[in-house]
Amino acid sequence: MHFLKQCTWLLILLCSAISAHAQQRVSGRVTDKEGNGLPGVTVRIQNTNRGTVSDIQGRFSLEANVGNTLVFSFTGYKTVQQAASAGAMNIQLEEDFANLDEVVITGLATSVKRSNLANAVATISAKELYGVAPAQTFDAALSGKIPGALITANSGAPGGGMSVKMRGVTSIFSNSQPLYVVDGIFISNVSVPANLNIITAASRAGNEQYQDNPSSRVADINPDDIENIEVLKGASAAAIYGSKAAAGVVIITTKKGQAGRTVVRARQDVGWTQARKLLGMRHFTEQTAFDKGGAAARDAFIAARNAGKLFDHEKEMYGEKGLLLNTNVSVTGGDERTGVFFSANRKDEDGIIKNTGYSNNSLRLNVDHKLNNRISVGLRATYMKTSADRGLTNNDNNSVSYGVALSAAPEYVPLLPDANGNYPLLVGGQNPIETRDKMRNNESVNRVITGGEIKVNLQENTKTNTRLIVRGGVDYFHLKTEAIFPRSLPFMKDNLEGASIQGNTSNLNSNLAGILVNQFAANTKLNFTTSLGATLETNYLDLIVATATNTTPLQTNVDMAANAALQQFRTKYRDNGIFIQEDVLIMDAISIGAGVRFDRSTNNGDYKKYFVLPKASFSWNLAKMPFWKMQLINSLKIRAAYGQSGNVAPYGARFLAALPNNIGGNGGVLVDNQLGNPDIKQEKQAEFETGLDVSFLNGRLTLEATYYNKNIYDLLIRRNLQPSTGFTAQWLNAGDLRNQGIEIGIGAIPVNTKNFRWNTHVNFWKNKSKITKLLIPPFPMGAFGNSLGNFYIEEGKSATQIIGTLGATPGIGVLGNSEPDFQLSTLNEISFLKNFSLRFMLHWKKGGDNINLTQLLNDLNQTSPDYDDDKNGNGIKDGDDRNTAFGKGEAAGFVQDASYVRIREIGLYYEVPVPRNKYITGVNIGASLNNWITWTKYNSYDPESSNFGSNTLSTATSRGSNGLSSGVEVMPYPASKRATFHVTVTF
C-alpha cells in the first residue's frame, strides 16, 4: 500500500514536469515498393514514446522537431529511420521476409530486434495460430508449431487438456508445463480433477494418481483474440521470469486497437468433428464366440446373428459427427491517443460421443490510452465462460468408463435400450450406452483475467530516456465440476444409490511488477539499456468437493441425498523477485546482455532465502559490420546465451501432515504417508544455448540453427521411502538431469511472383535427456507397475526410458523411450490467382513410445478387432499370442512406437473481390481440415494420449500428474478431427 501511495505521488509530480519544445507539424506518406499506401505503420520519434500511426492511405503527421529521427515500423516490413524534414516526407518500406526487424520481448519490459536476438525465440503469429485450420482450444492450436516442444493431447475430450514440454522433460515429479503469461498477467493452467475416482476407483490399484481426465485452464483463452505468441523455451531466454520459468514461458499478446478507421470484423465458422480413427469390432464366429465364453456365448452369438443383430458398439459410442459453431465479432479502432479492441466470441461444439461437447463464450476489451506524451496506460479485461461435458473415459477399476466397459461388449450383445427405455445388462462391465445416456460430467468455468500497465517517461533527452513500467493483473476463475450419476444406473444399485459429486474451485492469481528501464545512447554506435525491477506473484486456490450419495431420484443438489461427504483443499503461495539487467548494443550488430534475478517463495523450506539466478547473452550480426561485403548474405548472426531459472517446490512438501480419517462418527487424523522435508528447495535450471542465424537473398532464404544444453540441478523427486517407516514418499532434492538438443529452422520463399507466392517454413528438432546424477536408488514410476510397462529413473539413462518385466528372464529390461527421435514440421502458405491462399501444416514425430493398455484390456476381454489376425504367421491368433505373452510377464508388447505423420492443418481461403462500397471492405471465405489425416502404425485411437494428464492438481488426499507420464494410454476419449467452413466479413 505504501508503495502505491508513493507511486501516485510520483505520477502527479511527473505530469506537471512536462517540458515544452519548439515543435512543428511533420507529415508525409508511407508506401510499399509498388507505391501503395501502407496503413497502420507506427511512426515514432526515436527514444521517446511520442508518435502516430499512418492512415488508410499511408499518410501521417505529427509534432516533431526538424532533425529528430523518425522510426517507421510495421509488422512484416523492415524498419526505416529517417530524419524529420520540413517538407512532405516520402517513406518506402521494404518487405522483411526474414522478420529480422521483428521486435521480440526478451525482458519483463524490454525487447530486442530479431536481428540482434541471442536466443531462439519461437514466434507464432495470429495467422499461424488460428488462420489455417482452427483447433478447438488455444492449447491444441500450438501442436507442431513450437520447435523444441513436445506437445501432446491428453485425450480427445472436449475442452482441451494438453501437455507441453519445452526442450525435454524439465522436472520428474514437479511441474514441467510452461508458464503462460497473457499481456503480462501470469495465468493459471491448473487442471482440477472432478473426483470421479469415487466412481471409477482408477487410483485404487496400480497407480495412486487420479485419472479423471480434467481439462486444462489455458484452453479458456479465445485464440481469436491473440495477436502473437512468443515462446521462451528454457532458462537462457526466460531467466528473468525466475522460479516459474523452468519449463519455459509462453508469452501471449492479445490484439490492440490502432489509430485509423474503425474496423468491424465478423467471423462465422461452421463444421463438424468426427473420430480420427475407429478401431472396429471383433467379428465373431460360432467357434470364436465359444472360445470366448463357452456354450452360452456361442448360443448368444448364433441368436444375434440369425436375428441380424450384430452391433457396432464402438460406432454407436464414438461415431457421432459433432456440429461445430463459432461466431466472433471484433471491433478495432482508435485515434492517436486511444486504441480500443473489443471482441465477443461464442463457440458451441458437440463431441464425438453423445452428451459430450464444449462451449466457450468470451468477451474482451483492450484499451490503450496516452494521457500525454509521458504517460500511457494499457488496460486488458477479458471474461470467459466455458463449459465442457467430458463423458467418462480413461482408466477405471469398476468397469464403468466407456472404453473399459466397451471392451467387455462383443458384437452379439445388445446395449441399446428397448422400446420401454430399459437398457440391457452387460456382463463384465456396465452398459456404457446407458452410462453415456444417464450420467453427466461437466466442468464449467467463469473466469476473469484483467490487468493493466502504466508506462511513464520519467525523463528523456536526445541521449537518454528513462521509463517506469508498473504492471499488474489478476486471473480469477471459479471452476465447477459436476459429476452426476443417477441412482437408476445399475452400478449405483445396492452401492452408492446415486451420486452427485460437485467440486467448487476458486483460484486467484495476482501479480504485480514495477520496472525501471533506462536507455542511454552514448553515441550512435553504442546503446545501453538498463532495467531494474521487482515482482510479486501470489496464488490462492480453494477447492471444496461435496460428494452426495444415496440421492433422491432426479435430484442433483447435494442436500437431496441421504449421505454427504465433504473435502476441502487449499494452496497458497507468495513469490518475490528482484532483478537487474543490462543490455549493450554496439553498432547495431553486437549485443551483450547480463542480468541477475533474486527469487524466493513461501513454498521453499526456507521462505526467506533468496535464490540467485543469473543470465548472460551475446550475439554478433557479422553482416551489419562495416567490413561485410557479401551481398548474398544479408544477415549472419552468431549467438550464445546462458541463464538460470528455478522451479519451486510443490505446496506442502515441507510438512508432515495429519490427514482426516474418521470412523464411527468420530473425527480423527492419520499421519500422512508423505514425510515432510523442512529443507526442501527449488530445482535449479542452467541452460546454455548457442546458434547461428543466416539470411540469404534479402531474406528469401533463412536458416536458424540452435544447440542447447540444459542442466537441471537439485531435481525435486518424490522419493520412495522404506514403507515400513510408515512413510512411502518424501520430496527430496535428489538428482540432476540434462537435456541436450538441436533445433533447425529453414524459411524460404521459393516463388514470389504477383500471381503465385509460396512461403514455407521447415522446423526440425530433437532432444535427448539424461539423468546425470541420482542420489537415491533407481526407481520405477509413472504407469501401472513393471509388468505393464513403466518409466524408470536411473542415473546415466534417459529420463523417459520405459522398462518392464521380461517374462522368461527374471527382472526388468529397457523396452522403449517416450522421447521422440526427432520431430519435423512444415508450415506453408501458397497465395495464387491473387485472392486464393492455401495454407497447410505437416507434422512428423519420429519415434517416442507409448504404453498402450487400451489394447491389453480389449485383448483380455477378447474383443480386440485384430484378435483373429495372424500377422506373425505362427498359426496362433495375435490376440492369443498377446495374452500368452502377458501371462508370461512380458511387458514388451505394451510398449509401442507412437510415431506419426500428420496433416495437422490445411486450409484454403478466398478473398472475395468486393466492389467499392460504403459498408463492406472485405469478405473472406474458406474451408479447413484439422488433424484430418494421420499415418501411424500405432495400434489404438491416436498416438497422442495421456491417461494421467498434465498439470493436474495434487491435493492432500489425491495425487495429480507428474512431469513425465504422458504417453500412457488406457481407454481414452478418442481423438477427433475437424472440418470447418469459414466466412469473415470486414466492415
Partner 1 sequence: MKKHLIILLGSLIGLAACQKGEIPNLNSPIVDDAIRNGTKVKLDNLMVGLESGTRNSLATYYDAIGLIGREIYRMSASEPRYTKELMGDGALDNNTFYITNPWSARYRVVRQGNIIHDVVANATYLSDAQKKGYTGYTKTIMAYQLLMNLNMTYTNGVRTDVKDPNNIGPFKGYPESLADIAALLDAGKAELTGSEIAFPITIGATNAAAVIKFNRALAARVAIYRQQWAAALTALNESFFDLNGPFENGYFHSFSNKSGDQLNPLFLPQNTTSGEFRVATPYYVAQILPGDDRIAKATLRTEPASQLGLVSNRDVWIHKSNEAPVFIIRNEELILIYAEAKIQLNQIPDAIVAINRLRVDHNLTPYAGGITQAALINEMLYHRRYSLFAEGHRWIDMRRYNRLADLPNPRPGDKVWEKFPIPLTEGN
Residue 606 parent element (H or E) = none
- Would you say 462 and 491 are in contact if contact means Cβ atoms under 8 Å apart? no
Q: Would strands 499-523 and 976-986 be described as parallel, antiparallel, or unpaired?
A: unpaired
Find the shortest distance in angstroms from Cβ 651 to partner 1. 9
Find the shortest distance in angstroms from Cβ 787 to partner 1. 5
User: What is the footprint of partner 1 within residues 267-296 (CB under 8 A)?
Assistant: 293-294
Measured from the CB atom, the residue of 887 and 913 that comes closer to partner 1 is 887
Judged by CB under 8 A, the stretch of 306-314, 376-384, 529-537, 898-906 that binds partner 1 is 529-537
Find the shortest distance in angstroms from Cβ 896 to partner 1. 18
Judged by CB under 8 A, the stretch of 136-144, 269-277, 669-677, 923-931 that binds partner 1 is 669-677
Measured from the CB atom, the residue of 652 and 735 that comes closer to partner 1 is 652
- Chain-centre distance of CA 8, in angstroms? 37
What string marks each residue from 579 to 608 as x (binds partner 1 by CB under 8 A) or -? Answer: -----------------------x----x-
Distance, in Å, from the CA atom of 449 to the CA atom of 382, rounded to the nearest integer, reads 5
Asked if 658 touches partner 1 (CB under 8 A), the answer is yes
Measured from the CB atom, the residue of 804 and 949 that comes closer to partner 1 is 804
Query: What backbone torsions phi and psi does residue 224 show, to the nearest 5 degrees?
Result: -70, -20
The torsion angle over the Cα atoms of residues 862, 863, 864 and 869, rounded to 10 degrees, is 70
The CA–CA distances, whole Å, from 20 to 16, 24, 64 equal 11, 12, 11
- Which residue's entry shows cell 548472426? 637
Measured from the CB atom, the residue of 670 and 933 that comes closer to partner 1 is 670
Is residue 875 packed enough to be buried (19+ CB in 10 Å), middle (13-18) or exposed (0-12)? Answer: exposed
Measured from the CB atom, the residue of 656 and 751 that comes closer to partner 1 is 656
Judged by CB under 8 A, the stretch of 389-397, 413-421, 693-701, 897-905 that binds partner 1 is 389-397
Measured from the CB atom, the residue of 50 and 654 that comes closer to partner 1 is 654
Judged by CB under 8 A, the stretch of 168-176, 245-253, 535-543, 702-710 that binds partner 1 is 535-543
Is residue 27 packed enough to be buried (19+ CB in 10 Å), middle (13-18) or exposed (0-12)? Answer: middle
Distance, in Å, from the CA atom of 51 to the CA atom of 42, rounded to the nearest integer, reads 7
Secondary structure of residue 538 in the 3-state scheme: strand
Asked if 667 touches partner 1 (CB under 8 A), the answer is yes
- Would you say 122 and 233 are in contact if contact means Cβ atoms under 8 Å apart? yes
Asked if 612 touches partner 1 (CB under 8 A), the answer is no
Q: What is the DSSP string of 664-705?
A: TTB--EEE-SEEP-TT---EEEEEEEEEEEEEEGGGTEEEEE
Residue 301 parent element (H or E) = helix 286-306
Measured from the CB atom, the residue of 119 and 730 that comes closer to partner 1 is 730
Asked if 15 touches partner 1 (CB under 8 A), the answer is no
In this structure, what DSSP letter does residue 50 have? -
Among 516, 517, 701, 824, binds partner 1 (CB under 8 A): 516
- Would you say 953 and 192 are in contact if contact means Cβ atoms under 8 Å apart? yes
User: What is the footprint of partner 1 within residues 467-506 (CB under 8 A)?
Assistant: 468, 490-491, 493-495
Judged by CB under 8 A, the stretch of 148-156, 531-539, 629-637, 912-920 that binds partner 1 is 531-539
Among 40, 44, 69, 206, binds partner 1 (CB under 8 A): 206
- Chain-centre distance of CA 897, in angstroms? 24
656 Cβ contact partners less than 8 Å away, ≥ 6 residues apart: 671, 672, 674, 675, 676
The torsion angle over the Cα atoms of residues 178, 182, 185 and 187, rounded to 10 degrees, is -50
Asked if 656 touches partner 1 (CB under 8 A), the answer is yes
Measured from the CB atom, the residue of 377 and 534 that comes closer to partner 1 is 534
Among 574, 700, 757, 770, binds partner 1 (CB under 8 A): 574
Among 56, 522, 565, 914, binds partner 1 (CB under 8 A): 565
Judged by CB under 8 A, the stretch of 57-65, 227-235, 306-314, 565-573 that binds partner 1 is 565-573
Asked if 533 touches partner 1 (CB under 8 A), the answer is yes
User: What is the footprint of partner 1 within residues 145-204 (CB under 8 A)?
Assistant: 204
Asked if 430 touches partner 1 (CB under 8 A), the answer is yes
Asked if 549 touches partner 1 (CB under 8 A), the answer is yes
Distance, in Å, from the CA atom of 420 to the CA atom of 162, rounded to the nearest integer, reads 41
Is residue 849 packed enough to be buried (19+ CB in 10 Å), middle (13-18) or exposed (0-12)? Answer: buried
In this structure, what DSSP letter does residue 9 have? H
Asked if 528 touches partner 1 (CB under 8 A), the answer is no
- Would you say 92 and 661 are in contact if contact means Cβ atoms under 8 Å apart? no
Among 88, 566, 630, 876, binds partner 1 (CB under 8 A): 566
User: What is the footprint of partner 1 within residues 870-899 (CB under 8 A)?
Assistant: 883, 886-889
User: What is the footprint of partner 1 within residues 406-425 (CB under 8 A)?
Assistant: 407-408, 425
What string marks each residue from 711 to 750 as x (binds partner 1 by CB under 8 A) or -? Answer: --------xxxxxxxxxx----------------------
Asked if 429 touches partner 1 (CB under 8 A), the answer is yes
Find the shortest distance in angstroms from Cβ 73 to partner 1. 29
Among 572, 609, 834, 937, binds partner 1 (CB under 8 A): 572
Measured from the CB atom, the residue of 71 and 458 that comes closer to partner 1 is 458
HSE (CB half, 13 Å, CA atoms) of 954?
A: 17
Dihedral angle sign, alpha carbons of residues 296, 301, 302, 308: positive
- Which residue's entry shows cell 540452435? 706
Query: What backbone torsions phi and psi does residue 438 show, to the nearest 5 degrees?
Result: -105, -30
- Would you say 235 and 953 are in contact if contact means Cβ atoms under 8 Å apart? no
Asked if 512 touches partner 1 (CB under 8 A), the answer is yes
Distance, in Å, from the CA atom of 85 to the CA atom of 971, rounded to the nearest integer, reads 70
Among 6, 36, 488, 557, binds partner 1 (CB under 8 A): 6
Judged by CB under 8 A, the stretch of 183-191, 480-488, 560-568, 743-751 that binds partner 1 is 560-568
User: What is the footprint of partner 1 within residues 438-467 (CB under 8 A)?
Assistant: 458-459, 466
Judged by CB under 8 A, the stretch of 20-28, 47-55, 369-377, 402-410 that binds partner 1 is 402-410
Is residue 123 packed enough to be buried (19+ CB in 10 Å), middle (13-18) or exposed (0-12)? Answer: middle
Grid coordinates belonging to 117? 536476438
User: What is the footprint of partner 1 within residues 740-799 (CB under 8 A)?
Assistant: 776-777, 779-780, 784-787
- Would you say 95 and 77 are in contact if contact means Cβ atoms under 8 Å apart? yes
Among 240, 956, 968, 985, binds partner 1 (CB under 8 A): 956
- Would you say 242 and 166 are in contact if contact means Cβ atoms under 8 Å apart? no
Asked if 7 touches partner 1 (CB under 8 A), the answer is yes
Asked if 609 touches partner 1 (CB under 8 A), the answer is no
Find the shortest distance in angstroms from Cβ 304 to partner 1. 17
The count of other CB atoms within 10 Å of the CB of residue 20 is 5
Among the listed residues 373, 334, 371, 379, the one whose alpha carbon sits nearest the alpha carbon of residue 40:
334
What string marks each residue from 292 to 311 as x (binds partner 1 by CB under 8 A) or -? Answer: -xx-----------------
Among 82, 92, 398, 444, binds partner 1 (CB under 8 A): 398
Find the shortest distance in angstroms from Cβ 953 to partner 1. 12
- Would you say 776 and 735 are in contact if contact means Cβ atoms under 8 Å apart? yes
Find the shortest distance in angstroms from Cβ 448 to partner 1. 23
Asked if 395 touches partner 1 (CB under 8 A), the answer is yes
Asked if 935 touches partner 1 (CB under 8 A), the answer is no
Among 655, 707, 832, 987, binds partner 1 (CB under 8 A): 655
Residue 124 pairs with which residues in a beta bridge? Answer: 229
Residue 564 parent element (H or E) = strand 561-586
Distance, in Å, from the CA atom of 639 to the CA atom of 874, rounded to the nearest integer, reads 57
Measured from the CB atom, the residue of 554 and 671 that comes closer to partner 1 is 671
Distance, in Å, from the CA atom of 1 to the CA atom of 944, rounded to the nearest integer, reads 48
